[in-house]
Amino acid sequence: MDHFGVIDLMTGYQPAAVVASGVRLGVFDALRSDPATPAELAARLGLAGAPVAALLPALERLGLAGPGPDGRFGLTEAGGWLTGDDGLALVSLKEAFFATVWSGLDTTLRTGAPVLRGWRERLASDPDQCLLFLRALRVLARLTGPDLTGLPALGAGRRVLDVGGGLGSYAVPLAAAGADVTIAELSPVAAWARHELADPAGLLGTVTVIEDDVLMEGRVGEDFDAVLVSHVLHDLADSDAVRLLAGARSRVAPGTDLVVFELAGDAPGTIGPFFDLMMQVEGPGRARRAPEVIDLVASAGWGRVAELPAARPHLLVGAVA
Ligand X SMILES: C[S@@+](CC[C@H](N)C(=O)[O-])C[C@H]1O[C@@H](n2cnc3c(N)ncnc32)[C@H](O)[C@@H]1O
- x/- mask, ligand X, residues 253-272, rule CB under 6 A, reads --------------------
Which one of the spans 3-11, 56-64, 147-155, 159-167 is the region binding ligand X (CB under 6 A)? 159-167
- Under the binding rule (CB under 6 A), the answer on residue 141 touching ligand X is yes
Angle made by CA atoms 117, 118, 124, in degrees to the nearest 5: 90
Amino acid at 245: L
Judged by beta carbon, residue 79 or residue 166, the one nearer ligand X is 166
Beta strands in the chain (DSSP E): 65-67, 73-75, 159-163, 180-185, 206-211, 226-230, 257-263, 303-308, 314-320
- x/- mask, ligand X, residues 67-106, rule CB under 6 A, reads ----------------------------------------
Please identify which residue in 189, 290, 297, 305 interacts with ligand X, judged by CB under 6 A: 189
- Of the candidates 56, 21, 80, 95, the residue with the CA atom closest to the CA atom of residue 274: 95
- Of the candidates 266, 259, 279, the residue with the CA atom closest to the CA atom of residue 98: 279
- Under the binding rule (CB under 6 A), the answer on residue 161 touching ligand X is no
- Under the binding rule (CB under 6 A), the answer on residue 156 touching ligand X is no
- Determine the straight-line distance between the first and last CA of the chain, rounded to whole angstroms: 50
For residue 222, the minimal CB distance to ligand X (Å) is 16
Which one of the spans 13-21, 24-32, 69-77, 160-168 is the region binding ligand X (CB under 6 A)? 160-168
At residue 7, what are phi and psi to the nearest 5 degrees? Answer: -65, -35
216 SS3 class: coil
Neighbour order of strands in the sheet with 180-185: 206-211, 180-185, 159-163, 226-230, 257-263, 314-320, 303-308
Please identify which residue in 22, 35, 38, 165 interacts with ligand X, judged by CB under 6 A: 165
- Under the binding rule (CB under 6 A), the answer on residue 213 touching ligand X is yes
Footprint of ligand X (CB under 6 A): 134, 137, 141, 163-166, 169-170, 184-186, 189, 213-215, 230-232, 235, 244
